[in-house]
Amino acid sequence: MNLSYESTRNSSVKSTASEAVLKGIAEDGGLYIMRNIEEKRIDINILKGKSYLEIAEIILGLMLDDFSKDKIKECIHKAYINKFSVEEIAPVVKVGEIYVTELFHGPTSAFKDVALSILPYLMIASHEMNDFQGEIIILTATSGDTGKAALEGFKDVKGTKIIVFYPEGGVSQVQKSQMVTQEGSNTYVCAIVGNFDDAQTGVKKIFTNQELIDKLKEKNKVFSSANSINIGRLVPQIVYYFSSYMKLYEKGTIKLGDKINFSVPTGNFGNILAGYYAKLLGLPINKLICGSNENNVLYDFIKTGVYNRNREFYKTISPSMDILVSSNLERLLYLISCKNNETVKELMTELSDKGKYEINEEMKKILKSEFYSGCVFKTETQNTIKNTYEEYGYLLDTHTAVAYKTLNDYKKETGDDSVSVVLSTASPFKFSSSVYESLYGYSEKQEFEIMKELSKRTMIKIPENLLGLENKKVLHNNLCKVNEMGEFVTNIALG
């Protein structure tokens, strides 16, 4: 057995890649992470001329090292062929002096599709490999985009049920419409009274409810997670860092070996962590640039080495980044502490006891050398959308605009003129009213009317999956309190 994964909090909690995909989170509460990633290098020369899917096969094969090559290929094909509106999956476009990798051409118009299209297939494969034939119950808390992408990914996938909780009033109108009109015989959606962190805490409680877990076991069922703590979500995200690089090489913009920067709009730290993995696997990356909105806990952390979640929570125009506890940061702590599980465990205990921790000097040094951080508030985000549209005719969404501005700030501050890529995480039409307001001022109209007007005035097409959403039938109208989430899940799981 290839026990190449371990818990970030305890090196004796080991697992194979497929087990890690199944379980989502390690039994000691830590996150699964590949121990010797630096031994697995990818020679970028072999990626020349390869398609996105072929690059994915190489990277997934390396990281999910107990899956057969054929299995991986099958999962990739099921996930991506005919599911994305562009064959390239993640096209790179030039906007002024910088490059934008568009990750929003999937079935729900947000970058989470890249990972959540393939996760169901990786999970089913993992179950087969580990001789489990029962039912998988996926539980997910969402700040908006994960929920829809997970519902779409797991919809009618045999042997699974998916339950999504979202904060009532905490997601955009489009995000809500996408979720409550979800079709599929195995999909369940429930709003909760509270914010995203409340939803996430509620889900974690259900995951660790031993009585419920035992009851499920009797019926040959298990819980799993579609949140970005699952390595099955993280690994597919490494691919577009490599594919972006190779596209720039193929355009003649860079030579193989040139270092480039990536700027990433960040919330749970999953996307940007995949970039750090890419770097560890040998991709020539100079800086990873972390953009935050008003909830700038990561900005402070990268600047000072102090993580402090004791602060006000803001609802912003980039709601998918409205997070104060960035789960995937735990994996970064492991990597920059030189795999010191004890240190990670201590820091995580401090976080849960006091809501804050400080890393040591050596860790700070590595953090600062690998990452740059910026935070961009509402007015600046709106100005960035307006200016980029007026200067280049390119329409950014509210999340991508944060990363775009952070990159410009970085360039100004450091004078670094290496080729730089912004990862675009959502279609601007997913956040139509905020984008519209940035360009033309506030509109009283309904969200879907604004969407059409935005398209008309910019002459940019609305993605197919968002068209006609307002006329779709509402199929889910559940609402519960945080302490009722357990009952909601029990009824579905055991029913």
**Residue 240: strand pairing partners:** none
Residue by residue, DSSP assigns 53-90 as HHHHHHHHHHHSTTS-HHHHHHHHHHHHTTTSSSTTSS
426 near ligand PLP, rule: CB under 6 A: yes
Question: Which one of 265, 275, 428, 463 is in contact with ligand PLP (CB under 6 A)?
Answer: 265
C-alpha neighbours within 13 Å on the C-beta side of residue 257: 1
Residue by residue, DSSP assigns 359-411 as --HHHHHHHHHHEEEEE--HHHHHHHHHHHHHHH-----HHHHHHHHHHHHHH
465 near ligand PLP, rule: CB under 6 A: no
Site track for ligand PLP across 93-112, x = CB under 6 A: -----------------x-x
Using the minimum distance from each CB to ligand PLP, give the nearer residue, 29 or 428: 428
Contact residues for 390 (Cβ-Cβ < 8 A; gap 6+):
none
Which amino acid does the sequence have at 164?
A: V
Nearest to 236 by CA among 411, 400, 366, 106: 106
Question: Which one of 142, 230, 266, 296 is in contact with ligand PLP (CB under 6 A)?
Answer: 266
269 near ligand PLP, rule: CB under 6 A: yes
187 near ligand PLP, rule: CB under 6 A: no
Positive or negative torsion for Cα 64, 69, 70, 74: positive
Residue spans of beta strands (DSSP E) within 194-277: 221-225, 260-265
167 near ligand PLP, rule: CB under 6 A: no
292 near ligand PLP, rule: CB under 6 A: no
**52 three-state secondary structure:** helix
Using the minimum distance from each CB to ligand PLP, give the nearer residue, 216 or 238: 238
Q: Map the footprint of ligand PLP across residues 110-139, applying CB under 6 A.
A: 110, 112
**Distance of closest approach, residue 326 Cβ to ligand PLP, in angstroms:** 7
Using the minimum distance from each CB to ligand PLP, give the nearer residue, 71 or 233: 233
Structural tokens at position 269: 């730290």
Nearest to 71 by CA among 123, 14, 34: 123
Catalytic residue, chosen from 23, 112, 221, 287, is 112
**Distance of closest approach, residue 237 Cβ to ligand PLP, in angstroms:** 8
**Distance of closest approach, residue 233 Cβ to ligand PLP, in angstroms:** 9
**Residue 479: strand pairing partners:** 191
**Distance of closest approach, residue 426 Cβ to ligand PLP, in angstroms:** 4
320 near ligand PLP, rule: CB under 6 A: yes
Site track for ligand PLP across 321-340, x = CB under 6 A: x-------------------
Which strands sit side by side in the sheet containing 32-34, from one edge to the other? 10-15, 5-7, 32-34
Q: Please confirm, yes or no, whether 386 is among the known catalytic residues.
A: no
Question: Which one of 19, 102, 113, 145 is in contact with ligand PLP (CB under 6 A)?
Answer: 145
Give the residue numbers marked as catalytic.
112
Positions that interact with ligand PLP (CB under 6 A): 110, 112, 145, 228, 265-271, 320-321, 399, 425-426
